[in-house]
């Protein structure tokens, strides 16, 4: 292993751990998406709109 590569691996691992710790869970996204959908009057055929909005809101909130 080249010199310093252990440090690079450690930094990469820290980055992965930090990023996954701030990612919302599927359950958190589902709960918020359902609330957003309900707030919009429960329209048919647009689940991805609420899902993506929920993901964005939760990711922004955790940063």
Which residues lie closer than 8 Å to 37 by C-beta, 6 or more apart? 43, 47, 50
Evaluate whether 48 touches 30 at the Cβ level (below 8 Å).
no
pTM: 0.66
| DSSP code, position 25 | P
The residue among 44, 62, 35, 19 whose CA lies nearest residue 53 is 35
Q: Maximum distance among all alpha carbons in the chain?
A: 59
For 11-63, write each residue's pLDDT tens digit. 877 766 666 667 899 999 999 999 999 999 999 998 999 999 999 999 888 65
Delimit the domains of the chain by residue range. 24-63
Judge contact between 36 and 50, C-beta under 8 A.
yes
């Amino acid at each position: 292993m080249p010199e310093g590569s252990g440090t690079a691996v450690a930094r990469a691992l820290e980055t992965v751990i930090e990023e996954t710790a701030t990612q919302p869970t599927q359950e958190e996204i589902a709960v918020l998406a359902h609330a957003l959908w309900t707030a919009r009057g429960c329209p048919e055929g647009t689940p991805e709109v609420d899902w993506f909005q929920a993901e964005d809101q939760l990711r922004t909130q955790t940063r």
